[in-house]
Amino acid sequence: MTLITNGAGHGPLDFKRNQACALDLGWINQLRVNRAAADRRAASLANRRSVKKEYQAAWLLKAIECIDLTTLGGDDTPGRVERLCLKALRPLRADLMSALGVANLHTGAVCVYHEMIAPAVKALGSSGLPVAAVSTGFPAGLTSMETKVREIELSVAAGATEIDIVITRQHVLTNNWQALYDEMLAYRAACGEAHLKAILATGDLLTLENVARASWVCMMAGADFIKTSTGKEGVNATIPVALTMVRAIREYHEQTGFEVGFKPAGGVSSAKTALGYLMLMKEELDRQWLESHLFRIGASSLLTDIERQLEHYVTGQYSAAHRHAMP
């Protein structure tokens, strides 16, 4: 059976980037999250029967289109980044592509540290695939503000078209929303035309109310994406946290007309987990949030499991994980 996908586009021509608006502290301070209700909703999603056969395969192809294929290791080398980029441009083996009837498929972006931007840009060439760089003292975000802003500027100058920043968690933990808003405004200005993805590090924020409020402040300051985690916290992406964030995105869109993207990251390593996030986006937001300009999954090993599941769909057999090794 031939499966059809849209290809990993970078957004429709009429897509409007989020613009900063005034910080409304009255709105921020009144936000509440019903933890019990969020947990029940998360459980209902987890307990549903998953899609099967060709429908599952089509959803998994969509997941590939939305992956930020990531390497953030202290032992990264230009050679490793080049191999990662080649994998991003050709995420499935040729025989699987042919069997699935897919001619054009690539991931949503490649995500690297600043020092690896140049090798990534060179490897991706004229493909148009975005290079995302983590910035602002990733993962802790505890360098000086001057250093953080300069780091963004240098990464944009090096060729990064998306910047994944980390917020200062102490602003959230002390309810200093004005400081967080001002920080985000400075980051947005430093990004220029590059898209700004705000990492909340939700595992450090203690409560869902803090997650909701931080999401709103970042969006009010012009964030193009809000992202759950750096992948370095003790607790990373979870469905209750994701539910809180996407509902903030939905209400922000209703109030302002701007569409803000969402990126779960950290611990999203199985095809089943990725499908859960796709279903969440479809049910809580709308169809357009299943495209790569509004949804990304930060992952390094996820692609291996998706490729194994697609091979099982095509051949009826599971292959060993090492046959799909990542760079």
Q: What is the DSSP string of 1-42?
A: ------------TTPPPP------HHHHHH----HHHHHHHH
- H helix or E strand, kind and range, residue 249: helix 239-256
pLDDT tens figures, 144-174: 999 999 999 999 999 999 999 999 999 999 9
Peptide bond connecting 139 to the previous residue in cis, omega within 30 degrees of 0 = yes
pLDDT tens figures, 294-314: 999 999 899 999 999 999 999
Report the pLDDT averaged over residues 96-124. Answer: 96
Nearest CA among 81, 64, 77 for reference residue 326: 81
Has domain 25-324 been given CATH number 3.20.20.70? yes
CA distance 188 to 126: 26
Band (12; pLDDT cuts 50, 70, 90): low
Nearest CA among 201, 160, 162, 150 for reference residue 180: 201
Q: Has residue 185 got a pLDDT over 50?
A: yes
Q: Which two tokens stand for residue 232?
A: 């370095």
Residues assigned a catalytic role: 164, 227, 263
Please check whether residue 158 is in contact with residue 115, taking contact to mean a CB–CB distance below 8 angstroms. no
Measured CA to CA in angstroms, residue 136 lies from 124, 147, 155, 204, 265 at distances of 24, 7, 10, 17, 17
pLDDT tens figures, 256-294: 999 999 999 998 999 999 999 999 999 999 899 999 999
Band (7; pLDDT cuts 50, 70, 90): very low
Please tell me the chain's helix, strand, coil percentages from 3-state DSSP, rounded to the nearest 5.
50, 10, 40
The structural domains of the chain, with segments of one domain joined by +, span 25-324
At residue 226, φ and ψ (nearest 5 deg) are -115, 140
